[in-house]
Structure 1
Amino acid sequence: DGIYIGTECLVALFATVGNILVIWVVKLNSAFQNMTLYFIVSLALADIAVGVLVMPLAIVVSLGVRVHFYACLFMCCLMVVFTNASILSLLAIAIDRYLRVKLPTRYKVITTERRVWWALGLCWTVSLLAGLVPMFGWNKTQPGNADFLSCQFTTVMRMDYMVYFGFFTWTLVPLLVMCVLYVEIFYIIRTKLSQGTTSVRGTGGFYGQEFRTAKSLALVLFLFAISWLPLCIINCISYF
């Protein structure tokens, strides 16, 4: 338990400090003031919430602290909420990058500040609703057991929710969509850069910059996938 708690605290510290620095750099650097950075800040806020709230809650749950059934369930649901917010923020970033390279001349018309705020609101609202589904009945409550208990994730959360809803619907599908989008982004950029015509040379700097940005964001997506997929796969194996 000591090693686990120490590791969780270390991860929480790095996640919080690292993402606060991301937001600070975005705020100070005028070159970063564009619509994409709204989504990056949203992702950073979701990751800060993971560090500040989810990691401590994970420690509480791992210790099996005795609490009311619905208090335990709510803590477990919060973990899912902020994970969903991270995934949907990554998806929003991928869609934004795709529009930027696919429709560069119409990008600013399409991605207005108002639409970006609506998209962010939708991401967080959907994350909240999807994460709180177990609070409305999809949980392990039984007549007589909705009382105080030793809080464990598997004691209150149903595996069919975590596998079919949490993994297949809210993790795997967005990840596959993002992979398709980034493949298309790299294909478009490569095509534009390889044309070598006079009209394209004028935008060579634009597509070169987009290529570097896409590589960085694809790396973030890859790291997110390798961080969460093992746990999701373990849940699937234990369920099936």
Structure 2
Amino acid sequence: MDELDANGSSKEGFGSVEKVVLLTFVSAVILMAVLGNLLVMVAVCRDRQLRKIKTNYFIVSLAFADLLVSVLVMPFGAIELVQDVWIYGEMFCLVRTSLDVLLTTASIFHLCCISLDRYYAICCQPLVYRNKMTPLRVAVLLAGCWAIPVLISFLPIMQGWNNIGITDLIEKRKFHQNSNSTYCIFMVNKPYAITCSVVAFYIPFLLMVLAYWRIYVTAKEHAHQIQMLQRAGAPAEGRPPSADQHSTHRMRTETKAAKTLCVIMGCFCLCWAPFFVTNVVDPFADYSVPGQVWTAFLWLGYINSGLNPFLYAFLNKSFRRAFLIILCCDDERYRRPCVAGQTVPCSTTTVNGSTHVLR
């Protein structure tokens, strides 16, 4: 979402030292986002086990959206932030703004789909999950993650629907005070602010909260069952030991997966909630939110584009192994062992099609 100096207030120019600090910071954010998301995409493409997991298709698509943010949106925002001027013209300003809205909305839609995938995998029986998350439905969900955001980005912005009723205010604030410099101003009227924020953030956020709350309840039940199995110290009556071991392994794996995904969703909300709250409040406050606040909240959201890959690396054993293989040039030490007679199978078993997702 691009609300760079959206209230139109004039910004004081940065000094040389401040510009160096700003440039260093935004360059680090961009580099982190580009390299991290590329690493995720390459890891899934090269690792056969990761490609078997349905959820990872959403993760790759999410990484692609974040990569596009870091390549197509953030660099131009960084240049304007440091130079304190927009030099690329009004049309490209609209294109960049539309891409910003599109890719940001696509990101949260992907996270919403991942939460629904986890809900069916953890809270439902394996057969229900396989029936719900078929390859066709996964493809439809992925298409929706990209198609629906177009309806609140390129379509209304290029048509100027977000400007209805505030055109004069935008023109008045487009030029830098006491100079001929211009900004890429993106101001929105009340209907667009509410519609965009509800569709892009609040509805998906509500769905994710409901899904993860149900997952949390189920995880607690699973933890209790694991504890009861451990206390019993023997297989349940009428069930072979292998069945109980498989059930316990599944419960532990899916419970850890839920916790990890909750961390990822929590980081997203911390990064983007300030922006979307301000996005709704500002039009009702006569666009009085300072430009510095908009800029801070905007770049806080951009940080999220580079954050998810590091969450995968530190919290996900399968992704961490795949990252190490790539970074260490296919070092055999990081490949999955395959020794005859070992208790851990060479090809990993999947649970509900998702055993190795974020565990």
Verify same fold: TM over 0.5.
Answer: yes
Residue 62 of structure 2 corresponds to which residue in structure 1? 43
Local SS of the residue matching 1:53: helix
Residue 86 of structure 2 corresponds to which residue in structure 1? 65
**Matched positions, count:** 236
More displaced stretch, 197-206 vs 11-20: 197-206
Conserved 8 A contact 2:73-2:99: yes
Conserved 8 A contact 2:62-2:106: yes
Residue 348 of structure 2 corresponds to which residue in structure 1? none
Deviation at 1:222, TM superposition (A): 0.7
Instruction: Output the CA distance in 1 between the equivalents of 2:24 and 2:204.
Output: 32
Deviation at 1:162, TM superposition (A): 6.0
Return the match for 2:43 from 20, 25, 31.
25
Local SS of the residue matching 1:130: coil
Larger Rg: 2
Local SS of the residue matching 1:57: helix
User: Higher helix share goes to which structure?
Assistant: 1
Instruction: Output the CA distance in 2 between the equivalents of 1:178 and 1:125.
Output: 20
Conserved 8 A contact 2:69-2:100: yes
Instruction: Output the CA distance in 2 between the equivalents of 1:169 and 1:152.
Output: 27
Instruction: Output the CA distance in 2 between the equivalents of 1:123 and 1:95.
Output: 13
Deviation at 1:159, TM superposition (A): 4.7
Does residue 204 (structure 1) correspond to residue 261 (structure 2)? The answer is: no
CA separation of 1:14 and 1:159: change in aligned 2, threshold 3 A: farther
Conserved 8 A contact 1:70-1:135: no
| TM-score, reference length from structure 1 | 0.86
Q: Which amino acid aligns with 2:279?
A: N
Identity of aligned residues (%): 28
Return the match for 2:107 from 86, 89, 94.
86
Residue 346 of structure 2 corresponds to which residue in structure 1? none
Residue 169 of structure 1 corresponds to which residue in structure 2? 199
Deviation at 1:67, TM superposition (A): 4.4
Instruction: Output the CA distance in 1 between the equivalents of 2:31 and 2:160.
Output: 34
Instruction: Output the CA distance in 2 between the equivalents of 1:116 and 1:57.
Output: 33
Q: Which amino acid aligns with 1:23?
A: M
Question: C-alpha root-mean-square deviation of aligned residues, in Å?
Answer: 2.5
Deviation at 1:29, TM superposition (A): 2.9
CA separation of 1:235 and 1:5: change in aligned 2, threshold 3 A: farther
Return the match for 2:217 from 187, 212, 223.
187
Does residue 217 (structure 1) correspond to residue 265 (structure 2)? The answer is: no
* CA deviation vs aligned residue, 1:120-178 (integer Å, no higher than 9, x gap): 011101122222222123133749x6xx976535x343153663123233112211210
Local SS of the residue matching 2:127: coil
| TM-score, reference length from structure 2 | 0.60
More displaced stretch, 29-38 vs 189-198: 189-198
Instruction: Output the CA distance in 1 between the equivalents of 2:189 and 2:23.
Output: 24
Instruction: Output the CA distance in 2 between the equivalents of 1:162 and 1:176.
Output: 20
* CA deviation vs aligned residue, 1:26-54 (integer Å, no higher than 9, x gap): 22333322111000111111111111112
Instruction: Output the CA distance in 1 between the equivalents of 2:95 and 2:22.
Output: 22
- Larger RCO: Structure 1 or Structure 2 (Cα < 8 Å, ≥ 6 residues apart)? 2
More displaced stretch, 81-90 vs 108-117: 108-117
Uncovered stretches (5+) of structure 2, i.e. residues with no partner: 1-13, 176-180, 230-235, 285-359
CA separation of 1:61 and 1:232: change in aligned 2, threshold 3 A: farther
CA separation of 1:224 and 1:151: change in aligned 2, threshold 3 A: farther
